[in-house]
Structure 1
Amino acid sequence: MTAMRQGRMRRTTLVSAMCALVVAGTGLTGCGSEDPDAGTNGVGKLSAEKIQATTRTAAESAKAVRLSGTVVAGGSTYKLDMRLKADGGTGSVSAEGATFELLRVGEKLFLMADAEFWSHGGGEGEGGESDAAAADKLDGKFVKVPEGDPSYKRFSGFTDKDVLLGSLLTLHGALATDGRHEESGVRTVRITGDKGSGGTLDVSLEGRPYPLRLVRAGGAGTLTFSDWGKDFPLEPPAKDKTVDYGQQLPTS
């Protein structure tokens, strides 16, 4: 009997060790009766609808976030790398071969781009030369975007935390959970719309349930979210680096 008991103990120890090895090697849980939600924020136990509502609340209440990736809209693909908070944002946007920097502090919006951006569509001859000369002067400068200019609303949307998150953190169709995953070393629970065709969203299972990765419906881009709650400096550019055209930007 003693030998049999010792054999059972050895087998039990071996199974436990193998289970621990599998968990450590794959990041998965589930050996024996181990709770997959142990050590998490508990969001994984919720329904997909409640997970979406919870992560939206967390995102809205965060003081700051960094958003990077691609967004397809209106037939154009935008590559974003923006840091956002309640009173403004800063970062870069690339689209159709052009890259520009945006900076918004309160209601003041500034745009920096190279000479080619400003001279796009310039005429020929004397007018064209004048346009090119003006564009050269704007190269590397922050140009203040007047609030009445048609481009103000379009550009400022890239710097507005509430507007961007409100429009992006949306899945289409019937919601469902799609297992446990990992994003940048952080455990996540994934929710989907229409089994993935309506988009997927990975939500952190560690700390606050922030959204960490979004794949938009219809191939409309993929975005990652990081630096939740991490403040960053946001100040108007120096006067010698700023150009103010008054009520309207130069026509591009």
Structure 2
Amino acid sequence: MTAIPPGRSRRTALVTASCALAVTGAMVLLGCGGDDPDAGTNGVGKLPAAKIQAKTRAAADAASAVRLSGTVVTSGRTYRLDMQLKADGGTGSVTSEGATFKLLRIGRELYLKADADFWNHADGTPADGSDGTTGKLDGKYVKVPQGDPAYKKFSGFTDKDVLLDGLLTLHGTLATEGHHAEAGTRTIRITGDEGSGGTLDVSLQGTPYPLRLVRAGHAGTLVFSDWGKNFTVREPARSDTVDYGKQLPTS
């Protein structure tokens, strides 16, 4: 075997060590990803804001169910919502001006449940039930006639497509506003007119669902969760239901 000159051996060792350090350095840089905030995500954070909005709307429309909670301000009135929604129904609670009522929709059948104070506020009759009306409605599900103004007013709160179409809209020029987090989930935030037209946080993990919406003009903030998580809506028992008649009192 031919002997390797000592000088050459040292040079070879130095070159090998240098290459190892160079490879290690590259691996460190690649491992950090240059602190790439989109590393390991669904990739929507790298898209233009308009494409992110299109993808999150498509994801929301395709989802079988969703839960939303928060506030919506409309016509000068603030509604606090906690609703579960899917294509064929919805259930949850709505609070407005100190009165809380429950809504339940199965197909086209809409039920409303509230206490006497709500009905008193709606039609001005005594909350103690002395008129024979509000006392009967207190704490019972009332089937809302489809021709009644209250049906149109309240059914939208239980309709996934109608509610999301009205809410998931940013106004003005769209732009991205950095990476954030919502309930532990990494998000990309898109804005309308630098935030004055609303902001929307979109999930960077899995399906790009909308997770948090701040509406334009201080019109409320909503959090979305349980995307695609099914739930059951059942018609209330007859003992828990009252037939008010052809028209309900409205607030």
Alpha-carbon distance in 2 for matches of 1:196, 1:135: 44
Alpha-carbon distance in 2 for matches of 1:251, 1:186: 41
TM-score normalised to the size of structure 2?
A: 0.85
Residue correspondence of structure 1 range 4-43 to structure 2 within 5 A: 31=32, 33-43=34-44
> CA offset at residue 134 of structure 1?
2.1
Partner of 1:109: 110
Alpha-carbon distance in 2 for matches of 1:129, 1:36: 60
Partner of 1:245: 244
Partner of 1:119: 120
CA contact (8 A) 2:95 2:101 kept: yes
Greater mean alpha carbon deviation, residues 235-244 or residues 57-66: 235-244
> CA offset at residue 248 of structure 1?
1.3
Whether 2:209 is the aligned partner of 1:207: answer no
> CA offset at residue 139 of structure 1?
1.3
Alpha-carbon distance in 1 for matches of 2:194, 2:174: 8
> CA offset at residue 34 of structure 1?
4.7
CA contact (8 A) 2:136 2:242 kept: no
User: What SS does the corresponding residue of 1:67 show, helix, strand or coil?
Assistant: strand
Highest CA radius of gyration, 1 or 2?
2
> CA offset at residue 136 of structure 1?
1.8
Q: How many residues are treated as equivalent by the alignment?
A: 235
CA contact (8 A) 2:42 2:208 kept: yes
Structure 2 segments unaligned to the other structure (5+ residues): 1-9
Residue correspondence of structure 1 range 214-225 to structure 2 within 5 A: 214-225=213-224
> CA offset at residue 208 of structure 1?
0.5
Partner of 2:6: none
> CA offset at residue 117 of structure 1?
1.0
> CA offset at residue 173 of structure 1?
0.3
Structural RMSD (CA): 2.7
Residue correspondence of structure 1 range 159-198 to structure 2 within 5 A: 159-198=158-197
Alpha-carbon distance in 1 for matches of 2:243, 2:129: 21
> Which residue identity is paired with 1:205?
L
Alpha-carbon distance in 2 for matches of 1:55, 1:146: 35
> CA offset at residue 33 of structure 1?
2.8
CA contact (8 A) 2:37 2:179 kept: no
List per-residue Cα deviations over 1:131-151 (Å, max 9, x = no partner).
3x4212211100000001111
User: What SS does the corresponding residue of 1:33 show, helix, strand or coil?
Assistant: helix
List per-residue Cα deviations over 1:193-227 (Å, max 9, x = no partner).
00011000000000100000000011110000000
> Which residue identity is paired with 1:58?
A
Partner of 1:26: none
> Which residue identity is paired with 2:64?
K
CA contact (8 A) 2:66 2:225 kept: yes
Alpha-carbon distance in 2 for matches of 1:154, 1:146: 12
> CA offset at residue 245 of structure 1?
2.3
CA contact (8 A) 2:66 2:86 kept: yes
The percentage of counterpart residues that share the same residue type is 69
Structure 1 segments unaligned to the other structure (5+ residues): 21-30
> CA offset at residue 250 of structure 1?
4.6
> Which residue identity is paired with 1:122?
G
List per-residue Cα deviations over 1:27-48 (Å, max 9, x = no partner).
xxxx563543221111111110
Whether 2:134 is the aligned partner of 1:135: answer yes
Alpha-carbon distance in 2 for matches of 1:156, 1:184: 29
Alpha-carbon distance in 1 for matches of 2:120, 2:151: 19
**Cα separation, partners in 2 of 1:118 and 1:32, compared to 1, 3 Å:** closer
Alpha-carbon distance in 2 for matches of 1:58, 1:79: 25
CA contact (8 A) 2:73 2:79 kept: yes
User: What SS does the corresponding residue of 2:56 show, helix, strand or coil?
Assistant: helix
Partner of 1:100: 101
CA contact (8 A) 2:33 2:39 kept: no
> Which residue identity is paired with 1:64?
A
> CA offset at residue 116 of structure 1?
1.0
